[in-house]
């Protein structure tokens, strides 16, 4: 059988197909758009933001929402997110 | 009120300056009053592509320093009387210009023009931020190569973060080689459009004629009425909302011999 394999034409991938595969991987790493939130808006909606962060973390680490504790604080114009996850 | 476009890209060498010059000429040929601004402070090329390098007296930096008004710095094109240029300075640096300076410059010209086209430097640093500051619309230029597309993707993200609406960001695919695409050796226009997920408003095939016209200082749009010039006319029509198939851009540039051969290949 190996003799036949020698004559079998190796199937070459087209450069376009390879480029497409790599391009897909490049754009899939695209960072999601981040929005700048003014301090006043942040302080008014901090509870909603905390809830949203808890849901994201719970989905990401596959733990129930009850086991995720999040605290958001504004410091020097930045938001510090403190997350505590109980995996047990 | 002028429509203000920035022509930008992440990677250098994709053809931003040639596209800015030809787009400006095509819009002016179409009867619009156009100003092209070279925001590539420190390098300056737009004047060379337009063949106006010997006519520059004042530059963008003179306007920003308050030596002259923006209108005094305008250089009128030799053949197109409704096309004007504000040249960049070669001795200045990008840090000498701020986004606010660019906003004020455009404000001064806004009432007098139908279109203002800002040629942005490559990259995402200060020069890019200066160029996008006064613009409402962005034309992202890429070639069908992965590094250029990857950088274009990054630029699109930054434009969106800087408040550009998704529908105001458009794409031009430059240096496209139809024969390579047919053979499966190059990404097609549809592949690039799908990956970047913004509206493709023009495909410009790789062309030796563009190099020749740049060397002569006469944008190709002013030299010929066929081939790649038609593509620029199509881009102008698409900017004005006309629906023209992108296939027309590719077909325009198939030369007679290739068309002749493909006719027999189909039989």
> Tens digits of per-residue pLDDT, B159-208?
998 989 999 999 999 999 999 999 999 999 999 999 999 999 999 999 99
Within a domain: residue A56?
yes
Minimum-distance CB partner of A26 among B153, B183, B188 = B153
Within a domain: residue A19?
no
| Interface confidence (ipTM) of the complex | 0.79
CATH, domain range B3-265? 3.40.50.300
**How much is the pTM?**
0.81
Which residues in B lie closer than 8 A to residue A30 (C-beta atoms)? Answer: 153, 157
Which residues in B lie closer than 8 A to residue A24 (C-beta atoms)? Answer: 195
Integer Cα distance of A54 and A64 in angstroms: 9
Within a domain: residue A41?
yes
Which residues in A lie closer than 8 A to residue B150 (C-beta atoms)? Answer: 23, 26
Domain of residue A41: give its range. 35-87
| B173 reaches A (C-beta below 8 A) | no
- Per-residue pLDDT at B30: 97
Domain regions of chain B by residue span: 3-265
Output Rg (C-alpha) for chain B, integer angstroms.
18
Confidence tier at B257 by pLDDT (50, 70, 90): low
How much is the average pLDDT of B255-266?
Answer: 56
Cα distances (angstroms) measured from residue B109 to each of A25, B190, B230: 43, 37, 29
Minimum-distance CB partner of B146 among A17, A19, A33 = A19
Tens digit of each residue's pLDDT (9 = 90 or more) over B42-78: 888 999 999 999 999 999 999 999 999 999 999 999 9
Chain A nearest CA to B198, separation (Å): 13
Cα atoms in the 13 Å half-sphere on the side-chain side of B207:
26
Run of H or E residues at B265: helix B256-266
Within a domain: residue A17?
no
- B265 pLDDT above the threshold of 60: no
How much is the average pLDDT of B25-36?
Answer: 98
Tens digit of each residue's pLDDT (9 = 90 or more) over B90-138: 888 888 999 999 999 999 999 999 999 999 999 899 999 999 999 999 9
Minimum-distance CB partner of A16 among B160, B184, B195 = B184
Within a domain: residue A9?
no
Integer Cα distance of A70 and B183 in angstroms: 54
Cβ contact, residue pair B184, A17, below 8 Å? yes
- B262 pLDDT above the threshold of 60: no
Tens-level pLDDT at each residue, chain A (88 residues):
666 666 666 667 899 999 999 999 888 877 555 666 777 888 888 888 899 989 999 998 899 999 999 988 877 777 888 889 998 7
Chain A nearest CA to B146, separation (Å): 7
- Per-residue pLDDT at B72: 97
- B139 pLDDT above the threshold of 90: yes
Chain A nearest CA to B105, separation (Å): 27
Integer Cα distance of B198 and B97 in angstroms: 30
Integer Cα distance of B139 and B168 in angstroms: 8
Q: Which of A77-81, B31-35, B187-191, B259-263 has the lowest mean pLDDT?
A: B259-263
Minimum-distance CB partner of B184 among A15, A30, A33 = A15
Integer Cα distance of B172 and B199 in angstroms: 9
Which residues in A lie closer than 8 A to residue B161 (C-beta atoms)? Answer: 33-34
For B202, phi then psi, to 5°, come to 180, 145
Which residues in A lie closer than 8 A to residue B183 (C-beta atoms)? Answer: 14
Q: Report the residue of chain B nearest A17, measured CA to CA.
A: B184
Rounded (5°) CA angle B131-B100-A33: 60
Chain A nearest CA to B142, separation (Å): 14
Within a domain: residue A29?
no
Total tally of structural domains belonging to chain A: 1
B142 with B149: CB under 8 angstroms?
yes
């Amino acid at each position: 059988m190996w003799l036949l394999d020698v004559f079998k034409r190796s199937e070459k991938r087209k450069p376009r197909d390879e480029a497409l595969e790599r391009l897909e991987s490049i754009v899939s790493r695209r960072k999601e758009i981040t929005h700048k939130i003014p301090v006043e808006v942040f302080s008014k909606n901090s509870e909603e933001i905390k809830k949203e962060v808890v849901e994201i973390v719970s989905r990401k680490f596959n733990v129930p929402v009850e086991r995720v504790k999040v605290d958001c604080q504004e410091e020097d114009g930045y938001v510090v997110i403190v997350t505590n996850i109980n995996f047990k | 009120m002028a429509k203000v476009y920035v022509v930008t890209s992440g990677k250098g060498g994709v053809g931003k300056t040639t596209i800015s010059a030809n787009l400006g000429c095509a819009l002016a040929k179409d009867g619009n009053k156009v100003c092209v601004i070279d925001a590539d402070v420190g390098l300056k090329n737009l004047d060379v592509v337009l063949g106006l390098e010997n006519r520059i007296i004042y530059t963008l930096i003179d306007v920003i320093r308050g030596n002259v008004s923006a209108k005094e710095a305008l250089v009128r094109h030799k053949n197109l009387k409704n096309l004007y240029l504000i040249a960049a300075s070669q001795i200045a640096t990008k840090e000498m210009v701020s986004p606010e300076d660019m906003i004020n410059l455009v404000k001064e010209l806004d009432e007098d023009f139908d279109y203002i086209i800002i040629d942005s430097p490559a990259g995402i640093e200060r020069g890019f931020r200066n160029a996008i500051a006064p613009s409402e619309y962005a034309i992202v230029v890429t070639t069908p190569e992965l590094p250029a597309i990857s950088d274009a993707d990054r630029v699109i993200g930054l434009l969106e973060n800087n408040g550009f609406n998704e529908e105001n960001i458009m794409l031009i695919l430059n240096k496209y080689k139809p024969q390579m695409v047919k053979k499966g050796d190059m990404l097609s226009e549809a592949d690039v459009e799908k990956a970047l997920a913004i509206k493709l408003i023009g495909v410009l095939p790789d062309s030796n004629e563009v190099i020749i016209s740049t060397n002569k200082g006469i944008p190709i749009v002013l030299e010929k009425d066929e081939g790649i010039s038609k593509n620029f006319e199509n881009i102008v029509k698409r900017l004005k909302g006309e629906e023209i198939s992108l296939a027309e851009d590719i077909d325009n540039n198939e030369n007679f011999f290739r068309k002749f051969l493909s006719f027999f290949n189909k039989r």
